Amino acid sequence: MKLKCPSKAACTTVTVAVLLVATTIFAQQLGRPTAEDATTARLVCSMISRYHINHGEIDDSVSPRLLDQYIEMLDPQKVYFLKQDIDEFSRLKTQLDDLIKQGDVNFAYDVFDIYRRRFDSRIDHVHKLIDMEHDFTVDEELNTDADAIPWAASDAELNERWRKRVKFDILNRTLDKDEKIEEVRDRLHKRYNTLLRSIHDTESSEVLEMFLSALTHCFDPHSSYMSPQTLEEFRISMQLSLDGIGAALRSEDGNTFIASVVKGGAAHKDGRLEVGDQITAVAQETGDFVDIVEMKLSKVVRLIRGERGSKVRLQVVKADTNESVVYEMIRRKIELSESAVKGEIIETTDRLGRKARIGVINIPSFYRDFNGAEKGIEDFKSTARDLQDVLVDFRRQGGVEGIVIDLRYNGGGALSEAIEVTGLFIDQGPVVQVKEPGSKVKTYSDDIEGAFNEPLIVVCNRMSASASEIFAGAIKDYGRGIVIGDMTTHGKGTVQNVMPVSSQLFSSFFKPQDRGALKLTINQFYRVNGDSTQNLGVKSDIVLPSLLDHMDIGESSLDNALAFDQIAEAEHTSLAYVNADVVSRLKKQSANRIAKNEEFKKIQEEVADYVERKNRKAIPLNAEKLRAERALDEKKDNKVEDDAEDEKENGPVLPVTAYNDEVLNIAVDYVELLRGAVTAQVE
């Protein structure tokens, strides 16, 4: 059917009409965009063009990428939309730029409405597939490479894709989890019902957030639009505190349960709310209760959070007695200490058979309470402050011979914190160079003398990014310490600024605004030696075997990532902690230990197997073939989970594993080499 579009607005209307006629499943339609949404879209477009590091113009070259980005956000596996949907959406692929600059975001809502209708239709069919009998002796495969398959041309083709997906779900759980088929079916019914509820609970603000973020992702993968709700979550993550009752919630089959109680929070001090209790309704100090059964968890959280000192009432079904009770609690400030810097001194004699005192510190993120700092609050949360407290405590305990800074899984944070943390270990000097829009380069320096001079080991992996890379790069460039871990870090060498979506930029970038905020890439940072960390990351001096190192999770694997480049080196003083001979000897000693270690041999076998199979494009749906692969996959998955589990807050800072013990061995080697060098100089 040919569509004639006398105008862009008319084309939008006709397209939507055709899509609605083509759809037979009708659900409650999403709320339409408001005048405020239109203003937000126009402001976001203006801010991107004005402040993004590349001053990106929103033009016809961006329009088709915006279309692709948004569709991929909704249906990355090509299992909901039909080819006819994509064809209709594509009629506007060269006009979306003009529409969004005018504030017209109807397209986003229209597409999401079609997505939701397609979702309803698919899930209805999925429930039938879950209950049907499947033949697991047939040699067939599930294609996992969405890029290699076209959009389905018919419902029948989509049904066949879903038949294989459901067959895999059933086979996978019966093989890996050893569950009975009735249990598997029940679990899958619940899973897809939960997904259905989540889609239908999507708010208009979330659709706008997805669409505007799809636009920002056309320029780089780290720029995004944040709705007011997302902005609030971001603020909490940076200041490590919030006001509420101090309980983590989980959602299961549409019900909200207490997952954990935060020590020191209102619920902990009250003592009545327990893990496993179900919250069925929430009310403020006055007013009626709001039923939260079937409510999206993010909405439940917003109901319970509130101003410090205010009251909230919870209707609770007790886990042990099924009794329904009402608890009234006063909201308190909750310190999220599990995400803060932690340290411990490890006496290595018993663990390694070698005598040394090594201080180990885990930095999970480079957090900073910007609101608290701006208001002049004396004890505002700060990574550098917390790290200094740990280092001072080490000295109170008699000191350490070496320090290990663990930055694995640290995705970054505040630039100012990376600079201040680096300043604890170097004397005054440049820490990072930042290229601003227009190619102007500004050098950020530490202006205090370093207070801690113990030999330093920095541990990174492919998940160490941004601020972590600034710190690790500076330590390398100054020759202040050794970087060990994966072959390189994540490779995120860009700086994002959080700007309220407004016609004017206010001084407080973290003050919630009605229109949310734009997290925009405005700078690119460079090491002291002039290298960007963008794409290439910070290479380790000593590489330890790691499965994570071979996964496609670095910056270079992201769409629209900015390229690596170089600028002039900043003038700085090299320190005497590292030289080529020291690194060579440490690498040799480590390699000798790893070659003899059975646990590392297993890791290397898993890596070899993973590398061999990671490019496969299909999964067998034959039980015997999948069983053989699942045995290997379980090793891989458990290893990655174990590595992540090592970093959790409730255990020791550096749990006993072959990998962590090798980190300690390298630290002891390093201490002994430096001690020997000093002794030789004295003699």
Q: Give residue-wise pLDDT tens across range 189-199.
A: 988 988 898 89
CB 420 within 8 A of CB 384: yes
Residue 590 a catalytic site member: no
Domains held by the chain: number: 3
Residue 271 lies in a domain: yes
Among 333-342, 551-560, 653-662, the range scoring the smallest mean pLDDT is: 333-342
The pLDDT score that the predictor gives to residue 451 is 83
Which of 75, 85, 277, 477 is catalytic? The answer is: 477
Closest among 154, 65, 74 to 112, alpha carbons compared: 74
Q: Summarize pLDDT for 149-167 with one digit per residue, the tens.
A: 999 999 999 999 999 999 9
Residue 231 lies in a domain: no
Residue 492 a catalytic site member: yes
Which of 164, 167, 492, 639 is catalytic? The answer is: 492
CB atoms within 10 A of CB 376: 7
Where residue 380 sits, what CATH number does that domain have? 3.90.226.10
Which of 224, 251, 464, 466 is catalytic? The answer is: 466
What's the average model confidence in pLDDT over 33-59?
91
Q: Which of 309, 335, 361 represents a domain boundary (last residue)?
A: 335
Residue 466 a catalytic site member: yes
Q: How far is the C-alpha of 674 from the C-alpha of 21, rounded, in Å?
A: 76
Q: Summarize pLDDT for 280-297 with one digit per residue, the tens.
A: 889 998 888 888 877 777
In terms of domains, do 302 and 411 share one?
A: no
Cα 48 → chain centroid: 23
Q: Which of 290, 314, 335 represents a domain boundary (last residue)?
A: 335
Average pLDDT, the chain: 85
Q: 646: pLDDT confidence band, cut at 50, 70 and 90?
A: very low
Q: 22: pLDDT confidence band, cut at 50, 70 and 90?
A: very low
Q: How far is the C-alpha of 69 from the C-alpha of 110, rounded, in Å?
A: 16
The residue whose two tokens read 């019966």 is 174
The pLDDT score that the predictor gives to residue 228 is 87
Does residue 267 or residue 638 have the better pLDDT?
A: 267
Tell me 558's DSSP state: S
b vs e for 36-59, b when ≥16 Cβ sit within 10 Å of the residue's Cβ? ebbebbbbbbebbbebbbeebebe
Q: Summarize pLDDT for 68-110 with one digit per residue, the tens.
A: 999 999 999 999 999 999 999 999 999 999 999 999 999 999 9
**Residue 323 is part of which domain span?**
241-335
Residue 662 lies in a domain: yes
Residue type, 293: V
The pLDDT score that the predictor gives to residue 375 is 86
Q: Summarize pLDDT for 528-548 with one digit per residue, the tens.
A: 999 999 999 999 999 999 988
In terms of domains, do 210 and 253 share one?
A: no
Q: 630: pLDDT confidence band, cut at 50, 70 and 90?
A: low
In terms of domains, do 197 and 312 share one?
A: no
The pLDDT score that the predictor gives to residue 267 is 86
Residue 639 three-state SS: helix
The pLDDT score that the predictor gives to residue 537 is 95
Q: 334: pLDDT confidence band, cut at 50, 70 and 90?
A: low
Give Cβ neighbours of residue 254 (< 8 Å, ≥ 6 apart).
193, 194, 197, 293, 294
| Longest CA span, the chain | 91
The pLDDT score that the predictor gives to residue 236 is 67
pTM recorded for the entire structure: 0.72
Give Cβ neighbours of residue 562 (< 8 Å, ≥ 6 apart).
53, 54, 220, 493, 494, 521, 524, 534, 535
In terms of domains, do 394 and 406 share one?
A: yes
Residue 658 lies in a domain: yes
The residue whose two tokens read 């690194």 is 583
Closest among 357, 413, 460, 408 to 648, alpha carbons compared: 408
Among 20-34, 411-425, 563-577, 624-638, the range scoring the smallest mean pLDDT is: 20-34
The pLDDT score that the predictor gives to residue 154 is 96
Residue 283 lies in a domain: yes
The pLDDT score that the predictor gives to residue 29 is 54
Where residue 309 sits, what CATH number does that domain have? 2.30.42.10
